[in-house]
Amino acid sequence: MINVSVLGYGTVGSGVVEVLDTNRDSINKRAGNEINVKYVLDLRDFPGTPIQEKVVHDFSVIVNDPDVQIIVETMGGVHPAYEFVKEALEKGKSVCTSNKELVAKYGAELLEIARKKKVNFLFEASVGGGIPIIRPLNQSLTADEIEEITGILNGTTNYILTKMTDEGSAFEEVLKDAQEKGYAERNPEADVEGYDACRKIAILTSLAYGMQVDYEDIYTEGITKITDIDIKYAKAIGASIKIFGTSKKVGNKVYAMVTPMMIDRNNPLYNVNDVFNGIFVRGNLLGDVMFYGKGAGKLPTASAVVADVVDAAKHLGTNIMTIWSSKKLELASFDEASNKFFVRLSGDKNSLFEQVKNEFGDVKEVTAGVDSEYAFITDVMTESEFKEASQKFDNMVSRIRVGF
Amino acid sequence: MINVSVLGYGTVGSGVVEVLDTNRDSINKRAGNEINVKYVLDLRDFPGTPIQEKVVHDFSVIVNDPDVQIIVETMGGVHPAYEFVKEALEKGKSVCTSNKELVAKYGAELLEIARKKKVNFLFEASVGGGIPIIRPLNQSLTADEIEEITGILNGTTNYILTKMTDEGSAFEEVLKDAQEKGYAERNPEADVEGYDACRKIAILTSLAYGMQVDYEDIYTEGITKITDIDIKYAKAIGASIKIFGTSKKVGNKVYAMVTPMMIDRNNPLYNVNDVFNGIFVRGNLLGDVMFYGKGAGKLPTASAVVADVVDAAKHLGTNIMTIWSSKKLELASFDEASNKFFVRLSGDKNSLFEQVKNEFGDVKEVTAGVDSEYAFITDVMTESEFKEASQKFDNMVSRIRVGF
């Protein structure tokens, strides 16, 4: 029997207990051993529930119990999750977590402790919810040098953009609806400003290149400025607007960013809609692969955590090698990143045409029946070139990077 | 240093050597050791090439060399691949193969030998080419009970169906073009009759349920009867025709089949076109995930084989548990499988309407401007119910299962 303890009995934590219970037989078979939940750490009691006897309020009970081999951390937030996980690993327990903030910030350090202690620190659920992406990156795409990772990594913002597209509604309206349905948090900042996607692309990029990517270094732009009119233009040319977390290797430089992107049907992520996530990976020999599924939700996320528990159970006493050192990966300057840009200027095309040509070169006009605007897509230019040209226009209504 | 030997220097085998060479540094880092190709077994010599010194014609040289720890089998076909792989495993060498015929037929037995000998038998490349699917099924989706696996598992037939759809051309015409381009074999039977997809869905189903699925038990229907007129109808209702390998668990029964299917835009496989493969998996808690990428081709397939080599190198002396016993999984009778059906009858709707209603119940007419035909989609019915009803019509031009 292998004893597991769950830290935090919120949505994901209670999901973990439910998954272990629902699929007990098949999970035990796959783990090659019986998995038992010994303790649940939470501030609350849960009288009258099946876990009432297992609840403890003091982490030291768990971490000092030599019978506990695996700890599931589903509290979220960096503190005290970091201190708890670190102590657990140091005391020779494997840890499985869904906590992207923790992994993005302390992944390299915690992996190193796990390696030294011959235990495992696993975090499949921290990116893409139920979609297998961490283990494939770590164990399947090992013959390739990764040239690009681009993902729709946040279900809430993808839901909002999908609804805006399908219904022609404004951002604020859809956000309110999403909050009422429980798809968006009361405080939606982490999602709509791209912070959540930023931590996730930091984790994926660290794993792809085996070095620490600090999420603070990643240029991050959310979807709060995307309007129904932007989407109207996108639809007029058969495109859609998504928010991508991306990292790309160009020569020896790695660029990483989180930004809204206008993409067309040829992009494999074009059809990833609603709360679904999709993660596209390009290998130098493999070509393109994509992983798709529910990026959030109680049971999909808990399923990924439990898959880690099964893996930890199969590897008691052996560390599964993960290349992610604490050596910092210096990202290339965002100013040098290059893209096409979709631009909307207020005013009349005829009066703007010459100036646009002078500043942006030959552009491709986009029309969507919007009055008093001149909208176009530029050729590929760097961020700094674009910034410089933009400063000449105080009538710029919006600009969105273009991925086709 | 870990010594690898490659059996068969054809497309995939030479690709393996190329992948190991091109990405040497990153592969060695991920493997935690230097990977060296010691021998290449082939009937031919390759004078003047970098492998000329490594070529041997006698398998016993390789299998009896104690320095060889990992064998890559890329010969294809069941014999002598089976005898070679078995002997290699018995002599304590891990084997990585791209050979779906071998895995479908002898997977359970070879895995059992590997388990006993504490080595590994790995076959990521046998399904989906470069797409990670075997390892995710085996190691990532372990918290779930698998309810369905549906895949576009054969790139050649997907290419043919895509071209027929895009260009409105007939099957024979597109096949000829595909053969000229090297996308289809001179003898295309294994692809167009569905035999290749059949072995692949047999492997995936065996892994999902941990028991042996004999591919001979799987109802298999190819695409040779799909016509440009069928596709015209599909397009008229916004659907497309794909060939799917599918297995589904309904209650305690598992159904498996390979057949063309008419699907609509809501199916995540709808946009998997050209030579791409897509594999959709539904878990009872996880929900739906999909894996997408190049299902064939020299380097993508070789990349998957080399990922197995890296995994074998990381697990020298330890067996990676795979649940696939030799206990036979008795598939449910195909007669009891149920679907909707798209049906075309020659003749006049008015004169057929009553008889159709009597035999098939209420149907939904499909029109595509084809003269002298009555085409419709039935409600859900079992294969045997459909067969019985069909026998009343000697004017049935075609029938295709419908997945929406």
pLDDT(A296) > 90:
no
What CATH number is attached to the domain comprising B258?
3.30.360.10
Question: Mean pLDDT throughout A364-392?
Answer: 97
Which whole number is the average pLDDT over A137-153? 97
Q: Which phi and psi (to 5°) does residue A200 adopt?
A: -70, -45
| Domain match, B161 and B259 both | yes
- Asked whether residue A366 carries a pLDDT value surpassing 90, the answer given is yes
Taking CB atoms and an 8 Å limit, are A142 and B306 in contact across chains?
yes
Q: Do A254 and A303 reside in the same domain of the chain?
A: no
> B296 pLDDT exceeds 90?
no
Whole-number Å distance between alpha carbons of A114 and A270? 38
Q: Which residues contact B53 (CB under 8 A, 6 or more apart)?
A: none
Instruction: Pick the more confident residue, A183 or A193.
Output: A193
A180-208 mean pLDDT? 95
Would you state the pLDDT for residue A115? 98
Instruction: Tell me the mean pLDDT in the region B30-43.
Output: 97
A341 and A265 share one domain: no
Q: Which of A238, A264, A294 is the last residue of a domain?
A: A294
| pLDDT at residue number B307 | 98
Query: Percentage of chain B surpassing pLDDT 70?
Result: 100
What's chain A's average pLDDT? 97
Note the pLDDT of residue A183: 85
What is chain B's mean pLDDT, rounded? 97
Query: Does A142 share its domain with A287?
Result: yes
Does residue B320 sit within a domain? no
On whether both B285 and B310 belong to a single domain, the answer is no
The answer, yes or no, to whether residue A295 has pLDDT greater than 90, is no
Binding-site residues of A for NADP(+), please? Answer: 7-14
Q: Do B287 and A19 touch (CB under 8 A)?
A: no
Alpha carbon of A357: minimum distance to chain B alpha carbons (Å): 37
The distance from CA B327 to its chain's CA centroid, rounded to whole angstroms, is 22
What is the mean pLDDT of the segment spanning A204-230? 97
- Do residues A346 and A226 share a domain? no
Residue entry with tokens 């399904």 = B127
Burial of A47 (0-12, 13-18, 19+ CB in 10 A): exposed
Which of B140, B166, B266, B315 should we substitute to test contact with A (largest number of A Cβ atoms within 10 Å)? B140
Q: Are residues B120 and B234 in the same domain?
A: no
Number of structural domains in chain A: 3
* Domain-embedded: residue A330: no
- Percent pLDDT > 90 in chain B is 98
Q: Find the domain containing B38 and state its range.
A: 2-129+298-314
Question: Is A352 found in the same domain as A224?
Answer: no
Best CA proximity match to B114, nearest among B327, B316, B329: B316
Shared-domain flag, residues B12 and B114: yes
Mean pLDDT of B2-27: 97
Residue A326 lies in a domain: no
Are residue B242 and residue B114 in the same domain, yes or no? Answer: no
User: Does A140 have pLDDT greater than 90?
Assistant: yes
Residue A322 maps to a domain? no
**Is pLDDT above 90 for B392?**
yes
Inter-chain residue contact B300 with A286, CB threshold 8 Å: yes
Q: For residue B181, what pLDDT is reported?
A: 87
Domain boundary residue among A281, A314, A347? A314
pLDDT band at A197 (very low <50, low <70, confident <90, very high): very high
B142 → closest Cβ in A130, A142, A307: A307
Model pLDDT, residue B376: 98
B327 falls within a domain: no
Q: Say which amino acid occupies B273.
A: N
Contact A291 B294 (CB under 8 A): no
Q: Which residues pair with A97 in a beta bridge?
A: A73
**Chain A contacts of B288, Cβ < 8 Å?**
293-294
| Residue B7: closest CA among B105, B86, B111 | B86
Structure tokens at A143: 């013959």
**Residue finishing a domain among B284, B314, B344:** B314
Q: Which of B295, B322, B288 is nearest to B206 (CA)?
A: B322
* Nearest-CB residue to B307 (from A140, A284, A302): A140
A383 part of a folded domain: yes
Provide the pLDDT for residue B149.
Answer: 98
Whole-number pLDDT of residue A182: 84
Model pLDDT for residues B358-388, shown as the tens digit of each residue: 999 999 999 999 999 999 999 999 999 999 9
B286 contacts A23? CB cut-off 8 A: no
Least confident interval from A184-188, B110-114, B125-129: A184-188
Give dist(CA A404, CA A267) in Å, integer.
8
Does residue B125 share a domain with residue B73?
yes
Provide the angle, in degrees to the nearest 10, between the axes of the packed helices B171-181 and B155-167.
120
Does the pLDDT of residue B183 top 90, yes or no? no
Q: Domain of A17: which CATH number?
A: 3.40.50.720
| Residue-level pLDDT at B75 | 96
Indicate the pLDDT class of residue B148, thresholds 50, 70 and 90.
very high
* Pairs across A and B, CB distance < 8 A: 175
> pLDDT-derived band of residue B314, with 50, 70 and 90 as boundaries?
very high
Q: Is the pLDDT of residue B313 over 90?
A: yes
Write the CB contacts of B214 (distance below 8 Å, at least 6 apart in sequence): B202, B328
Domain CATH number, residue A395: 3.30.70.1150
CA distance A275 to A153: 10
- Could you report the per-residue pLDDT of A60-116, keeping only the tens digit for each? 999 999 999 999 999 999 999 999 999 999 999 999 999 999 999 999 999 999 999
A124: which chain B residues are within 8 Å (Cβ-Cβ)? 140
Strands B396-402 and B253-264, how do they pair? parallel
Chain A residues closer than 8 Å to B150 by CB: none
**Residues of B annotated catalytic, as ranges:** 200
pLDDT at A391: 97
Catalytic residue among A93, A163, A200, A294: A200
Nearest to A287 among B23, B286, B300 (CB): B300
A38 is catalytic: no
Q: Has residue A275 been placed in a domain?
A: yes
Share of chain A above pLDDT 90, in %: 98
Is A327 a member of any domain? no
- The stretch B34-42 carries a mean pLDDT of 98
**What is the total residue count of chain A?**
404
In this predicted structure, the answer to whether residue B322 has a pLDDT above a threshold of 90 is: yes
pLDDT tens digits, one per residue of B159-175: 999 999 999 999 999 99
User: How much is the ipTM here?
Assistant: 0.95
List pLDDT tens digits, range A251-281. 999 999 999 999 999 899 999 999 999 999 9
Please give the full DSSP string across A176-229, using - where no structure is assigned. Answer: HHHHHHTSS-SS-HHHHTSHHHHHHHHHHHHHHHTSBPPGGGSEE--STT--HH
Q: Is B400 exposed, middle or buried (0-12, 13-18, 19+ CB in 10 A)?
A: buried
Asked if A74 contacts A97 with a C-beta cutoff of 8 angstroms, the reply is yes
How confident is the model over A3-41, as pLDDT tens digits? 999 999 999 999 999 999 999 999 999 999 999 999 999
Q: Are residues B142 and B290 in the same domain?
A: yes
CB atoms within 10 A of CB A191: 26
pLDDT recorded at residue A213: 98
